[in-house]
Amino acid sequence: MDRRPFDTGRSPVSAPAIGICRLPHGADLPLPAYATQGAAGADIRAALTEALTLAPGTRALVPTGLSFEIPAGYEVQVRPRSGLAAKHGVTILNTPGTIDSDYRGEVKIILVNLSEEPFTVARGDRIAQIVIAPVVQAEFGERQSLAVSDRGEGGFGSTGTG
């Protein structure tokens, strides 16, 4: 039996077009890019003018030198890169971060060093990944009571840990 994955070479869903404006301090850096054909996240880079050293337990807002024009009905999620977290203890706060379709300012990444060693970020380092996702806006309605469910108010481990 042939177990090779079916691959048309195209994304299974239509890809939204994201407009990108390079800011002066990011003009020479690569645009966000997918590392592999199957990657869900595109790597985004640090647009620092000089290297930044994060001491253990500290955080910094790192510029990317990019602004996005995201189509209505979509968001861009900012997520950590697993290698930075696993190898260096460096991750992102407020994750996943959301860039709304109507935001036009510079994208900045909140890096935090959770390790016991200083970590240096250099210009052009891949510091995060971005994932494009559809947005659904709900209609919120106040009620005096909620429908009964089997779970009820159980939370924070109430369904078990195994």
| Cα(113)–Cα(16) distance, integer angstroms | 33
**The whole model's pTM is what?**
0.83
Question: Which parts of the chain sit beneath pLDDT 70?
Answer: 1-13, 161-162
pLDDT at 2: 54
| 81 appears as a binding residue in the annotation | yes
Structure tokens at 93: 């706060």
pLDDT at 7: 53
pLDDT at 117: 98
pLDDT at 1: 54
pLDDT at 14: 76
Q: What are the φ/ψ torsions at residue 88 (nearest 5 degrees)?
A: -130, -5
| 99 appears as a binding residue in the annotation | yes
| Cα(131)–Cα(79) distance, integer angstroms | 8
Fold topology of 19-134: Deoxyuridine 5'-Triphosphate Nucleotidohydrolase; Chain A (2.70.40)
pLDDT at 21: 97
pLDDT at 12: 60
Residue with tokens 């939370």: 155
pLDDT at 113: 98
| 125 appears as a binding residue in the annotation | no
| 151 appears as a binding residue in the annotation | no
| 98 appears as a binding residue in the annotation | yes
Q: Which is nearest to 110 in space by CA: 94, 121, 126, 133?
A: 94
pLDDT at 147: 92
Any idea where the domains of the chain sit in the sequence? 19-134
